[in-house]
Structure 1
Amino acid sequence: MSALETIAVATSFLAIWLTARRNMLCWPLNLVACALYFKLFLDVRLYADMVLQAVFGIGILYGWIAWSRNRHGPGAVEAAVGAAVEVMPLSLARALAGLVVGACGALAIGWFTSRHTDATLPWMDATLSSFSLVAQYWTARRHRENWLLWIAVDIAYVGMFLFKGLLLTAGLYAAMIGLAVIGYRDWRRTRRPGSPGDHATTKD
């Protein structure tokens, strides 16, 4: 347990909590957390997760912009969280497409890291990294189902980090499972655009 891991855990926890609350401050904090975990994963040779943090940085910028454009839609619960954004539905076709992309990414990343690097747990690392990107994209698109995918991914991450001796990070991901449950519950309570009671529509 290092000072770097401690700071990364605290920053990540706050960022995920703010994401669950649909608060715009989650994005800058997530950027800081990505930078911290990039260095941490480099130190412990989890290369897929290290690269994932860099890709997350791009995704975070995308999500920041996407949320900024949808802060005042008809589905926002602004009285509760101030800068909340509307939640958008995820079709079955798009959900399946996302999972297929995640599986293909896992195979590609796992093949590369297992053959060309000294990564530990290359296939598990690759699988979790790939599906984390899918979950991150769903978060940016404001689909409540992102939390269900995060729950599955975080459960597996807890086991991997325990194996790697990153006990504090394992604890963070265990707590993130609880935050994901809260996030899904809260996002599920919001109205979808076009639902009964809405009198305007917005473009996604």
Structure 2
Amino acid sequence: MLQSLYEFLTAAVGNSPLEWVAVLTGFACVWLAARESLWNFPVAIVSCGIYIVVYLRAGLYSDSMLQVMFIALSVYGWYEWLYGGRGKTELPVSHTRRREWVVCVLFVAGFTAGFGYYLEHNTDATVPHWDSFTTAGSLAAQYLLMRKRLENWWLWIVVDIIYVPILWYKQLYPTSALYALYLGLAVYGYVQWRRAMRKDELLLKLEPND
């Protein structure tokens, strides 16, 4: 029993300092995104780079690949937030368009089925379809965040709820706890972004018409 407790505590504090660096930078990244800070993008690039190694070691191959995609999307999102508005101005918070919802749903369903099948039959992945679903959901959420769509936080909430038990099962306890914190940050981000969007809408109404 003492041996089991020791093994649990060892895993709980992280299998390596690398995971803790990834956890701390990951938390900072989401908090900065919730605050609409551009600094979330460079911090995200660092965190994702570290998590590539962490997830490979844990056998979460789809999630490791996801980090590569996140790095590319972070670079693009950084540009979009700066120059994606009208006249290459700062991008405002807005609602997700119907076409974007359709594309996101079709992408998540197709990726989950296709890549989940590949992982199940060609790798030693332990939770292939759940791994694929969280990967696809995260990519869809990141795309909406990149476009500053308010509803990106809804997707993050769903993904985080699923990630917590998966990462716990894989004995990545610090990262599992991080995703539990992400749930709170996702709610906080939604409230902050909705407030910012309403403020922008009010200012737009108050602008004099030419």
Under a length normalisation based on structure 1, what TM-score does the superposition of the two structures give?
A: 0.87
Confirm or deny that 1:154 pairs with 2:197.
Answer: no
1:90-105 alignment runs, 5 A limit: 90-105=96-111
Tell me whether 132-141 or 63-72 shows the greater mean CA deviation: 63-72
Q: Spell out, residue by residue over 1:174-203, the C-alpha distance to the aligned partner (whole angstroms, 9 max, x if none).
A: 000000000000101123698454149xxx
Given the superposition, is the C-alpha separation of residues 100 and 45 from structure 1 closer, same or farther in structure 2, using an over 3 Å criterion? same
Question: RMSD over aligned Cα, in angstroms?
Answer: 2.2
Aligned-partner Cα distance in 2 for 1:38–1:197: 42
Match of 1:63 in 2: 77
Identify the match of residue 123 of structure 2 among 117, 120, 131.
117
State the alpha-carbon separation in 1 of the partners of residues 20 and 202 from structure 2.
46
Q: Indicate which of 98, 114, 126 corresponds to 1:108.
A: 114
Question: Which residue pairs with 1:165 in the alignment?
Answer: 171
Query: AA paired with 1:49?
Result: D
Greater Rg by CA = 2
Are the structure 2 counterparts of residues 149 and 66 from structure 1 closer, same or farther at C-alpha, using a change threshold of 3 Å?
A: same
Inter-partner Cα distance in structure 2 for 1:122 and 1:131: 14
Q: What displacement does 1:157 show?
A: 0.1
Q: What is the Cα deviation at residue 96 of structure 1? A: 3.0
1:71 Cα deviation after fit: 7.8
* 1:36 lines up with 2:50 in the alignment: yes
- Structure 2: unaligned runs, 5 residues or longer: 1-13
The CA deviation at 1:70 is 4.6
Aligned length: 191
Gaps of 5+ in 1: 77-84
CA, structure 1 residues 192+92, in 2 after alignment: closer, same or farther (shift >3 Å)? Answer: farther
Contact residue 15 and residue 26 of structure 1 kept, 8 A: yes
Partner of 2:142: 136
What is the deviation of 1:159? Answer: 0.7
> Counterpart in 2 of 1:18?
32
Give identity over the alignment, percent.
Answer: 36
Structure 1 ranges of 4+ moved more than 6 A? none
Distance (whole Å) between structure 2 residues aligned to residue 47 and residue 152 of structure 1: 20
| Structure 1 segment 75-90 matched on structure 2, within 5 A | 85-90=91-96
SS at match of 2:197: coil
**CA–CA distance in structure 1, aligned partners of residues 199 and 187 of structure 2:** 23
Write 1 or 2 for the structure with the bigger share of helix. 2
